[in-house]
């Protein structure tokens, strides 16, 4: 499976027109760091000459060469540590954008997520979601599946921002390579392997 086969769109986390300052001058090349919309794959991308980028832009990186107007190629998958300080700073905001832009997928997660064991439910993996709120979500979804984040908040007391719960979980999975459960992301890249 090629590197680019799982992500058709990425959101720009950082753009370095002159390349990474921590590399020797002869190795510096224009670089874009992005996060995939589908599996939140962190990618290093090679921009096309003269392409300009704004952090937060959603750009096409899929197989259709005609649609790929800004990116020459996907160079590699990277881990969180590889990203720039700017990309680290932007990540929480961009994750929230992705979650809200693909809300349907995460509503499905709230509606269908299973128990891991008799004592532990997948929903408990969301940072900040306690047992009581988890039970409330499970009870409510039995009555009728949720249709939006807004509706979830209307139906469940004290639930403020389900989108943030999801974004925080994704961030945790991206920043902590030792997470046992990966609800939304792929395992980190092992060294020297894309």
Q: Which of 75-84, 131-140, 154-163, 185-194 has the lowest mean pLDDT?
A: 185-194
In a domain? residue 163: yes
Contact 69, 48 (CB under 8 A): yes
Task: Tell me 104's DSSP state.
Answer: H
77 and 108 together in one domain: no
Quick one: tokens of 37? 């919309």
Task: Give CA–CA dist 31/14, Å, rounded.
Answer: 8
Q: 76-127 pLDDT, tens per residue?
A: 999 999 999 999 999 999 999 999 999 999 999 999 999 999 889 999 999 9
Rounded average pLDDT over 17-21: 92
Q: 25-45 pLDDT, tens per residue?
A: 999 999 999 999 999 999 999
In a domain? residue 135: yes
Task: Give CA–CA dist 91/15, Å, rounded.
Answer: 13
In a domain? residue 140: yes
The domain containing residue 75 runs over which residues?
3-81
Q: What φ, ψ does residue 143 adopt, rounded to 5°?
A: -65, -45
Compute the radius of gyration of the chain from its Cα atoms: 18
Helix 85-101 with 162-175: angle, nearest 10 deg = 140
Amino acid 87: pLDDT: 97
111 and 169 together in one domain: yes
In a domain? residue 95: no
77 and 8 together in one domain: yes
In a domain? residue 67: yes
132 and 64 together in one domain: no
Amino acid 62: pLDDT: 92
8 and 76 together in one domain: yes
165 and 111 together in one domain: yes
Quick one: tokens of 76? 């590699």
Please tell me the total count of domains within the chain: 2
Residue 5: pLDDT band by 50, 70, 90 thresholds? Answer: low
Q: What φ, ψ does residue 44 adopt, rounded to 5°?
A: -100, 125
Shortest CA distance to 110 belongs to which of 129, 86, 97? Answer: 129
68 and 116 together in one domain: no
CATH of the domain at 152: 1.10.150.280
The answer for residues whose C-beta is within 8 angstroms of residue 3's C-beta and 6 or more apart is: 43, 74, 76, 77, 194
9 and 76 together in one domain: yes
118 and 167 together in one domain: yes
């Amino acid at each position: 499976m090629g590197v680019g086969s799982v992500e058709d769109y990425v959101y720009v986390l950082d753009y370095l027109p002159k390349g990474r300052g921590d590399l020797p001058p002869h190795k510096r090349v224009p670089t874009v760091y992005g996060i995939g919309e589908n599996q939140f794959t962190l990618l290093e991308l090679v921009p096309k000459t003269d392409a300009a980028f704004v952090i937060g832009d959603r750009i096409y990186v899929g197989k259709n060469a005609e649609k790929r107007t800004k990116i020459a190629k996907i160079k590699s998958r990277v881990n969180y540590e590889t990203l720039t300080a700017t990309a680290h700073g932007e990540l929480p905001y961009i994750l929230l954008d992705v979650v809200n832009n693909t809300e349907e997928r995460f509503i499905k997660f709230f509606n269908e997520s299973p128990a891991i064991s008799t004592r532990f439910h997948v929903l408990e993996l969301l940072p900040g979601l306690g047992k009581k709120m988890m039970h409330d979500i499970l009870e409510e979804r039995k009555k009728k599946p949720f249709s939006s984040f807004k509706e979830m908040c209307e139906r469940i007391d004290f639930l403020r921002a389900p989108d943030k719960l999801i974004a925080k979980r994704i961030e945790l999975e991206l920043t902590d390579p030792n997470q046992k459960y990966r609800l939304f992301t792929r395992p980190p890249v092992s060294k020297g392997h894309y």
